[in-house]
Amino acid sequence: MQIDVFNGDADGICALIQLRLSQPAESKLITGVKRDIQLLQRVTATAGDKVTVLIFHWLKIKTIYAAS
Protein backbone atom coordinates (compact mmCIF):
# COMPACT_ATOMS: atom_id res chain seq x y z
CA MET A 1 0.00 0.00 0.00
CA GLN A 2 1.15 3.55 -0.75
CA ILE A 3 0.64 5.98 2.14
CA ASP A 4 1.05 9.74 1.64
CA VAL A 5 1.53 11.83 4.79
CA PHE A 6 1.34 15.61 4.52
CA ASN A 7 0.40 18.75 6.41
CA GLY A 8 -2.95 20.18 5.32
CA ASP A 9 -1.54 23.62 4.58
CA ALA A 10 -0.97 25.00 1.08
CA ASP A 11 2.63 23.71 0.96
CA GLY A 12 1.63 20.17 1.84
CA ILE A 13 -1.33 20.07 -0.55
CA CYS A 14 0.68 21.55 -3.44
CA ALA A 15 3.55 19.14 -2.81
CA LEU A 16 1.17 16.17 -2.91
CA ILE A 17 -0.52 17.38 -6.11
CA GLN A 18 2.85 17.89 -7.83
CA LEU A 19 4.08 14.48 -6.72
CA ARG A 20 0.97 12.62 -7.86
CA LEU A 21 0.86 14.47 -11.20
CA SER A 22 4.41 13.32 -11.93
CA GLN A 23 4.10 9.89 -10.25
CA PRO A 24 0.46 8.78 -10.24
CA ALA A 25 -0.45 6.27 -7.54
CA GLU A 26 -3.46 5.16 -5.53
CA SER A 27 -2.68 6.01 -1.92
CA LYS A 28 -4.07 6.29 1.57
CA LEU A 29 -3.90 9.94 2.65
CA ILE A 30 -2.97 10.94 6.18
CA THR A 31 -3.11 14.67 6.79
CA GLY A 32 -3.40 17.14 9.62
CA VAL A 33 -3.21 20.80 10.45
CA LYS A 34 -0.21 22.96 9.68
CA ARG A 35 2.86 22.01 11.74
CA ASP A 36 1.26 18.85 13.15
CA ILE A 37 4.52 17.13 14.11
CA GLN A 38 2.67 14.20 15.68
CA LEU A 39 1.24 13.23 12.28
CA LEU A 40 3.69 10.38 11.66
CA GLN A 41 2.44 8.63 14.79
CA ARG A 42 -0.88 8.07 12.95
CA VAL A 43 0.81 5.95 10.26
CA THR A 44 0.32 2.21 10.51
CA ALA A 45 2.59 0.64 7.90
CA THR A 46 3.42 -3.00 7.39
CA ALA A 47 6.14 -4.80 5.46
CA GLY A 48 5.98 -3.82 1.79
CA ASP A 49 4.16 -0.52 2.36
CA LYS A 50 5.67 2.65 0.93
CA VAL A 51 5.29 5.84 2.99
CA THR A 52 5.90 9.26 1.44
CA VAL A 53 6.23 12.17 3.89
CA LEU A 54 5.83 15.72 2.56
CA ILE A 55 6.51 19.09 4.22
CA PHE A 56 7.56 18.64 7.80
CA HIS A 57 9.80 20.48 10.20
CA TRP A 58 12.47 17.78 10.33
CA LEU A 59 14.36 19.18 13.31
CA LYS A 60 11.29 18.88 15.54
CA ILE A 61 10.50 15.36 14.30
CA LYS A 62 14.09 14.27 14.82
CA THR A 63 13.90 15.58 18.40
CA ILE A 64 10.58 13.79 19.10
CA TYR A 65 11.74 10.42 17.77
CA ALA A 66 15.19 10.68 19.34
CA ALA A 67 13.49 11.20 22.71
CA SER A 68 11.18 8.19 22.27
Exposure on the CB side of residue 54, measured as CA atoms within 13 A: 23
Q: What is the mean pLDDT of residues 25-43?
A: 86
With bands split at pLDDT 50, 70 and 90, how would you rate the model's confidence at 25?
very high
- What predicted TM-score, i.e. pTM, was given to this entire model? 0.75
With 70 as the cut, is the pLDDT of residue 8 above it? Answer: yes
With bands split at pLDDT 50, 70 and 90, how would you rate the model's confidence at 21?
very high
With 60 as the cut, is the pLDDT of residue 51 above it? Answer: yes
